Amino acid sequence: MQHFSFNFDYDSETRQVSKHWQFCIGSGHAALAHRTDYVKQLKLVHDELGIERVRFHGIFNDDMNVCQRICEHLPVISRNKTKLYSFYQVAKIYDELLEIGVKPFVEIGFMPSALASGKKTVFYYKGNVTLPKKMEEWQDFISAFARFLINRYGAEEVRSWYFEIWNEPDLPCFFKGSMKDYYRLYAATVKALKRVDSKLKVGGPATTKSSHLSEFLEYCRRENVPVDFVSTHQYPTDELGHSINREKLKQISKIKTYNTSESMRALLQPIFDNVNDFKPELKGYLTKEAERARCEAHGLPVFYTEWSISSNCVAAIHDTTRTSSFLVKTVLDNQGIVDGSSYWTFSDIFEELFFFPDPFCGGFGLLTADGIKKPAFWAFKLLAQLPDTRYCLPVTDDDVELTAFRNDNGDLFLMLYAQNFDDTKCSYQVTIRVNHAPDFSKGQIHRINSRYGNPVSLWEEMGKPAVLSKQELEYIKSSSKMLTEPIDVKMDDNGCVLNLTIEENEVALIELKCH
């Protein structure tokens, strides 16, 4: 068993940090927010994890009925091209969000069909990804949207929101046009928003792989286009976004099943879920990319408005402790680099390619569609407990790492994690010494590992039923909580010492209370 030792002084250097991971959380598309179970789960992540905002696609999708023409709904031939704006459904969603304490992070998109220059769409809900047919009409629509929001919610409230122009315009599936076309769309949209209220916060380019940031900001500088923040996305792997290829499409076309109980997840997961994508050298990759983005932003706030361990919507890794340990390392390493981040997503109540109803489908969410808390949820739960005073300990990218925090009462919070993409089934002996520490009266440890905070293992033990009964659901929920127990704290003349064992991909938070 490999041994790790950590040693630091209780009075050593600290710095003030912020919980950038509470800034926002991702979701699917806007219309999902009409569901009561969706709202219930969103309230849960707000109340328990401290999440402040939610970001989703498709606020202008046709299923939101924001822009319509009479000729599209009645069997008449008419030359009347009058377009009617209605933000009623938008209001119902935003009202619900604000009621539970969550602000919208407004992703501007996709294009209403009535304004679109083409018919290319993305996902089953057919979000139109083309440019507007007439930029002036689009600007009129955007200004009307901004006026509606201010009239309904007040200028001060809407000024506290963020308006991000489009989603991943560097991918052909999300935007039919070049990046130059996107810059033109960005400029026109921002102008339309700012002419209603110059204090509205706008930004972009919402690209993948932390890309195009420098050229986007150079365009804004050269053309004198406002930009209040820089946003981008990052995953260690970008399988669906960048690497869906003819071979995978050929595999899909050859799928044959005579079992009517076979799920869509079971059919597609073997094709898209390539565990070999998760190599050990990916450790710390997102932080390296964030550092590059920070430099390219030239002082503007940097928001990662999508990030996770995989961009694959059926990646089994999403349901495991490998995600929770990856999550903890990533968000802690990015403190002081990223101003705000939005984990993708809060729930498996999610629809893009399909809705996957399996109890554990490898979906992006912190929660399953049934509301079961995954290891990633418990990881955010622990992160929410951390104070904002952090010790200046090194980031090592080693198999086991430690971060330490202290609150105003002098209590210590030690976050220990063994993050690795390998399934090596190993354990580590860990010794933590805190020199010159006060006499800690008691300590406790919270654990997320293969036995605790890991509900997918219980489902697998059940034989992976396609649908959970009420009794099975309640059993998994009640039996898959993270472990909280006392921990032995040894005091000597030099301070305090803790000895413990953690396993691969385990996350442990140790709390030491002063007298």
Catalytic residue ranges: 168, 306
Distance CA 511, CA 496 (A): 13
Report the residue count for the chain: 515
Closest by CA position to 171, among listed 203, 205, 204, 208 = 208
Distance CA 205, CA 349 (A): 26
Alpha-carbon separation of residue 218 from 162, 191, 428 (angstroms): 21, 17, 48
Q: Which amino acid is at 128?
A: N
Sheet of strand 427-435, all strands in order from the earlier edge strand to the far edge: 2-9, 427-435, 495-503, 490-492
Structure-token pair, residue 176 = 């039919």
Burial class (CB in 10 A: 0-12, 13-18, 19+), 478: exposed
Q: Which residue is it, tokens 């930004």?
A: 203
3-state secondary structure (DSSP) of residue 218: helix
Q: How far apart are the first and last CA of the chain?
A: 35
The dihedrals phi and psi of 347, each to the nearest 5 degrees, come to -150, 155
Distance CA 306, CA 294 (A): 16
Structure-token pair, residue 14 = 């600290």
Long-range contacts (CB closer than 8 Å, 24 or more residues apart) made by 111-118: 111/60, 111/138, 112/60, 112/61, 112/62, 112/66, 112/67, 112/141, 113/62, 113/72, 114/67, 114/68, 114/69, 114/72, 114/83, 115/67, 115/83, 115/141, 118/176
